[in-house]
A and B are shown apart, each in its own frame.
Chain A
Amino acid sequence: MSGAQTGWVDASTMSAPLSRTCDVVIVGSGAGGAVLAAGLAAQGLDVIVLEEGGRYQASDLTLQEGDAFPALYQDRGTRGTSDLGVTIMQGRAVGGTTMVNWTTCFRTPERILAHWAAEHGVEDLALAPHFDAVEARLNIHTWPAEMANANNRTLQRGCEALGWEVRPLRRNVKGCANSGYCGVGCPVDGKQAMGITYLQDAVEAGATVISRVRVDHVDVAGRSARGVVGRAMSAEASGPDGVDVRIDAKVVVSSAGAINGPALMLRSGLDGGGRVGRRTFLHPVVAIVGRYAERIAPFYGAPQAMGSHHPIDRGPDRIGYFLEAAPLQPMLASVAASQIGAPLAAFMQALPHLSGLLALTVDGLLPGDEGGTTRLGSDGRIVVDYAFGPAYEEAFRSAMQDLARIHLAAGAELAGSLHQTPVVMRRDADVRLLEDAAYGAHAHRIFSAHQMGGLCMGADPARHPVDLQHRMRGVDNLFVVDGSVLPTALGVNPSQTIYGLAHRARGFVADAV
């Protein structure tokens, strides 16, 4: 092997091509890849993790959105669906999306596990011991209600006034300063992100984490993956501009996350009979903003402290959703606003008094709801298509009405939608104004912070490109360990499900070495 650096390695500083061999090469250092790497390294396996993004430590962070989004998010913070109907926020750094996520943790809901068993043959995951382990390592615990910032207390107050279920959330934090900067990287290492937990464990156990390498494809011959091929990429480059990288390995794992993971398979000539990239889920998010007489300061304080699952089960033919808060620092707030000119300025000038509440719709559960599709464009760019039908229009309308009611019940002076011409509501009776508005892509702002699926796990080779042991069907030593295996969206924030699945997958991957 050449360039035999170990530990934390930055490929953008290399001057000679990198060629190495190892037991297991893992593409992607996020929630899935990090937990897996630590587990395999602890068993004495020779593990290399390749990550396209850079390694940022607390002391590197400026906490400015204008620095963080281009550096730490996919596509420099500009990822979206092909019609730009959905703004897709997804991380790109050592630690993956955990570098920028908001730390809310849930175990996979029983009703989702039951749905997976019934509809996708995903049975006997037995995740409980794995959840116990990751909860201990990541210090996942309930964030005390009294620590909730004003932006989360509006959600709490409104739900309580309406008699709706609402509760404090669990977070993977230790020594959190309640700052509110989770989305631009934690400045005090309070967030137990992968870079300071599982990846650190992996490195201490002998693994090598090589940042700033974009893997182009898996080298597949017949039923066997020989390794991966990519190139180094410097911080400001528009594409790979550094040395060639080739890692040969006994086992190859894609932990590149939803969207990028399916794209990696497609670039490797693996389309799973047309199933790769299908069933891409986004937990499509709509929001309502409330303006309050008192100061909310939605830019400070842990981003998410309260949540409600009151509207999660709306009957068999309706799309459910769950409710959380959105931190509003100025850049993100300005992107959420749909107006321009003086109305945009007025919206932004009210920022200290605004509270942002979200409804996350749960895709992939209704019969025939296949979510979106990830594919490769002719110039190699990754394309995500997502069309919203009538079931979504109904769910978006209902969700916005619920959020408006919550704001008004919490004492907001007014609640406003993110329609191009916002629907403004000052009293409960005004909520019906939302009946007449349009819904779907381009009618109002839609976001995604939770990308799932695209390489769905399941029992049916005709429908599921990945089997129950995370193996890519058709290639004996190629595994997928990240959010892309989820056969539906979750109805809860996904990170802990992915940590748990990766913890469970350690044995399957190790057995294949």
Chain B
Amino acid sequence: MTPSRRFFLGGTLAGAGLLALGGVGLSAQSSVMVAPDAPLRALTPRQFSVLVAVADRVCPGGGALPVAREVGVAGAIDRLLSTMHPGDAAELGQALDLIENAAIALVLDGRARPFTACDPAAQDAALRAWATSGITLRRKAFLALKGLIASAYHANPATYAGVGYPGPPPGLVAGGGIP
């Protein structure tokens, strides 16, 4: 549920210089694309692929917990975004584009590959850089992604057993109490 809103209000990162830089050279290295299960409603195919990769690092699974892509986290977020103000989807998409962008990553964090082409350790380092960045809008973008991903994942009944939540008691909807 956490906010996906307005990362770029008053922001300066998306300044022309960095974006222009991102359009050439390093960014030519290609993204690792993931095909969505259903037609996308809000995100571009590349943004969706970045979201899949980020989600797998936010919720990597382990123990009885599945990895994010197994429970369709990115698709759920794409559907949610399609019910929100178009500006919200546009801003989240921009954030995903920026995270993927190797030229920007090289300038800011010394990472020379698109996010989706990095190994898990490098992806974790990249997300840490966004989370702790001195640039407010990068921290905002991280918070938005973390909130949307964690909530889409932990709202999915397929993850309940893994966290020891028995779910809504079946009798309750019919009017019974908690056993």
Q: Assess whether A331 is in contact with B131, with CB atoms less than 8 Å apart.
A: no
Which residue of chain A lies nearest to B127 when distances are taken between CB atoms in the complex?
Answer: A340
**A179 touching B172 in the complex, CB below 8 Å, given contacts A345-B61, A345-B65:** yes
Contact residue among B5, B59, B80, B173 (Cβ-Cβ distance under 8 Å from A63):
B173
Q: Which of A6-14, A72-80, A284-292 contacts B (4 or more CB under 8 A)?
A: A72-80
On chain B, the residues within 8 Å of A56 by CB distance are: none
Bound Cα distance A348, B156 (Å)? 13
- Please tell me if the beta carbons of A239 and B85 are within 8 angstroms of each other in the complex: yes
Q: A66-B155, A179-B169, A349-B63 are in contact. Are A84 and B144 (CB under 8 A)?
A: yes
A377 touches B83 (CB 8 A): no
Interface pair B136/A331, CB less than 8 Å apart? no
Q: A84 and B150: CB pair below 8 A?
A: no
Report the minimum CB–CB distance from B63 to chain A (whole Å).
6
Measured between beta carbons, the chain A residues less than 8 angstroms from B148 are 78
Which B residue's beta carbon lies closest to that of A184? B168
Contact indicator B63/A335 (Cβ below 8 Å): no
> A238 contacts B173, CB within 8 Å?
no
Which one of B147, B164, B168 contacts A349 once the chains associate, using CB atoms below 8 Å? B164
B23 within 8 A of A: no
Q: Report how far A329 CA is from B160 CA in the complex, Å.
A: 10
Q: How many residues of A contact B (CB 8 A)?
A: 59
Q: Is A345's CB under 8 angstroms from B63's CB?
A: yes
A261 to B156 Cα, complex, angstroms: 33
Whether the pair B165, A70 counts as a contact (CB closer than 8 A) is no
Tally of B interface residues using CB under 8 Å: 60
CB-CB < 8 A to A329: which residues of B?
165
Q: Which of A239, A340, A352 contacts B164 (CB 8 A)?
A: A352
Q: Pick the residue among A61, A65, A73, A83 that contacts B155 (CB under 8 A).
A: A65
Contact assessment for B150 and A337 in the assembled complex, using a CB-CB cutoff below 8 Å: yes
Interface string of B141-162 (1 = CB under 8 A from A): 0011011101111111101101
Complex Cα distance, B6 from A76, in Å, reads: 15
| Contact across chains for B124 and A341 when beta carbons are under 8 A apart | yes
**Taking the complex as formed, is B178 at the interface, i.e. its CB lies under 8 A from any CB of chain A?**
yes
The distance from the CB of B7 to the nearest CB of chain A, in whole angstroms, is: 8
A168 contacts the other chain (CB 8 A): no
| A70-B1 Cα distance, complex, nearest whole Å | 8
Query: Given contacts A84-B140, A349-B63, A442-B139, is CB(A335)–CB(B177) below 8 Å?
Result: no
Q: Compute how far the CA of A301 lies from the CA of B169 in the bound complex, rounded to whole angstroms.
A: 12
Structural contact, B150 and A335, CB atoms closer than 8 A: yes
Interface contact A181-B168, CB-CB below 8 Å: yes
**B178 contact from A59, A73, A177, A332, Cβ within 8 A:** A177
CB-CB under 8 A for A188 and B172, given A87-B147, A330-B165? yes
Say yes or no: B162 contacts A83, CB within 8 Å. no
Contact B178 A180 (CB under 8 A): yes
List residues of chain A with CB within 8 A of the CB of B151: 65-66, 69, 77, 331, 334-335
B172 & A80 in contact (Cβ 8 Å cutoff): no
**Contacts of A83 on B, CB cut-off 8 Å?**
136, 140
Is A19 among interface residues, defined by CB-CB distance under 8 A?
no
Query: B5-45 interface mask toward A, CB cutoff 8 Å, 1 = contact, 0 = none?
Result: 11101100000000000000000000000000000000000
User: Which residues of B approach A to under 8 Å, CB–CB?
Assistant: 1-7, 9-10, 57-63, 65, 76, 80, 82-88, 124, 127, 131-132, 136, 139-140, 143-144, 146-148, 150-157, 159-160, 162-165, 168-169, 172-173, 175-178
The 11 sampled A-B contact pairs (Cβ below 8 Å) are: A61-B173, A66-B155, A66-B156, A70-B80, A76-B83, A78-B148, A82-B9, A178-B177, A332-B1, A381-B85, A442-B139
